Structure 1
């Protein structure tokens, strides 16, 4: 009996020490950065992710993926990411994201939030067709190739994402706007186009992008945070104002993210 208790105690100590060893301490600067740049992210969210062993750069890339892809980050999603954290820089295709960031800033899509489906992590073959919000959604994965289509004639929304070895293509159109992004993987050259049909505002960007990974994304977020801190008036003037002129002209705004980790703190 004593031997069994001793073994059980050792197992418990091992588990607790493993959890403690995995935990990462996030300093105040990085915590404030993540909370300021990403909407709906709070201190408890960041601290919980750090306890899972995710550092500031891991968290930056995760929040960047989720905020740009309209995907909700919850406990199940976070568990899957932690289990596959060694491949975190490769996950862009599962979010329908390009493998680059722009030469002078992060990629930030301007289309409105729309609930959609995603393929599972690590899948190499996937075919699904959904009826969602009155539209038809098709997802196909073959190896590293990713194809996504959504069409809703009632609302006028059309969205396409195509990722192949040589090229990334994104297209979105509704009754109010159009948005396109093309990236050539051989040289990372990109072309981005946005047009607001209501007011005629247009954004065009071309250049040679940089590889999107947790280091490059973190550095861009750090620059963005410093700019926000320098402009104290920014939040009152622009936050939550999707129709603001500067927003459509490409001025950086806070990334909007759907996150729900509240059940973890009860």
Structure 2
């Protein structure tokens, strides 16, 4: 039985690529099990996901499911890859940007596609740990992200680190939404209502001058969107790193710090950082916008 191979990562790989699976019973297949698992997790989160509940939704016994998938952890791997294959506005924009935009626009589009995916399936942010086996759809998204910065002059290790950093940022922001929603669901009290009732705390904050000044100036009334602010600062840091790598390399093989295109270098004088006036203007506008 499939359940006997629950601890075999290679078997999960076979399932993810749909190789050597069990013959489907009438009305039951691996695809149906995975889709039902996604629907259940969308409704109840990962805490509410179990093989028993999936079986009940499908109208089969739990043991019937084990002929197709060995256990809950393997089902989660299959679910992650299932939703990674979804087409969304974000993934379409990522693909469109890849055709004519620079590395920053393409990487940003990938991050936004991941954010949209986690807004539709919040439980994705709850999948923790480094031993979840990726499937073809997950690897395709990872490949797309790697390709956005692979030709910027960063080292191979830095390319991988940059993509990992962006992915962890998206997951961490999504996890905050999951935790807030779960707390609200459990307590029946919204975040605004809970904080609105903390008068005894607010009365004690006047002894902290910086906090009080920022409060009175509206800093807490008109907060920055944490995802938008964090993503922009993260991309700024990556751009700075690419610029530093550009300045430290030889002129031969230099690429634009904005779009990653090859840059023709002058015979003498300061090396060029941009491939065109439009890229130089784009970088200037970005720096100006950040100061506003």
The structure whose residues are more often strand, as a share, is: 1
Give the TM-score taking structure 1 as reference length. Answer: 0.26
Give the TM-score taking structure 2 as reference length. Answer: 0.24
The structure whose residues are more often helix, as a share, is: 2
Computing the radius of gyration from Cα coordinates, the structure with the larger value is: 2
